[in-house]
Amino acid sequence: MNDASFDDVTSLRARLEDLRMEHRDLDEAIARLTAAPIDDELMLRRLKKRKLALKDRIAAIERIVEPDEFA
């Protein structure tokens, strides 16, 4: 593995951790909104949509960083 390739993987791993943290934060925010007596349905839908998009990004980066099969 050359230096550029190592830097790319390291950068992707750091991005992956950031996305996972944001995903957890959104999960907590959604739980708080759901438990709150004042329903903000639009905000809840936006947060859930964002969380799903993050999940898709996380999965894509995980496939790049940790592929199932080695070529």
**Contact by Cβ (8 Å): 19, 57:** yes
Residue 66's φ and ψ, nearest 5 degrees, are: -130, 75
pLDDT reported for residue 41: 86
pLDDT reported for residue 65: 86
Dihedral sign (CA 64, 67, 69, 71): positive
Mean pLDDT, each 10-residue run in order, the chain (71 residues): 72 93 95 81 92 95 81 55
